[in-house]
Amino acid sequence: MDSDFHCMTVVSERLLKDDIIELMKEEGAKGFSITDSVGEGSRGVHASDWEGRNVKIESIVHDETAKRILKRIADHYFEDYAVIAYTYPVTVVREQKFK
């Protein structure tokens, strides 16, 4: 078992889905899982009110990768878009799957 891995989680308006996945892959994520989500945050209405729901994107990545993704998402999207991001350590087996 190996605990150098993190679950990198992003909840954002649906619009950003493809961009965020691309960003994650660029930083080295090998896979991801997406669930539909609705929510409320600090912002008032956002386009997703009309266009559809939020997405929650999760990717099991290496520690360092998570840090880089977290930073890039904050830099690029926090100002203008409805998005939050966080990460937490997880234990996996057969770590080669995520590298």
Ligand X SMILES: Nc1ncnc2c1ncn2[C@@H]1O[C@H](COP(=O)(O)O)[C@@H](O)[C@H]1O
Binding mask 39-78 for ligand X (x = CB under 6 A): xxxxx----------x---xxx------------------
Among residue numbers 67 through 96, which ones bind its own copies (CB under 8 A)?
A: 67, 70-71, 74, 78, 84-94
**Least distance in Å: CB of 57 to ligand X?**
9
Is the Cβ–Cβ distance between 61 and 98 less than 8 Å? yes
CA–CA separation, 6 vs 78, rounded Å? 21
Residue recorded with tokens 């994650």: 24
CA–CA separation, 98 vs 66, rounded Å? 12
Among residue numbers 59 through 98, which ones bind another protein (CB under 8 A)?
A: 79-81
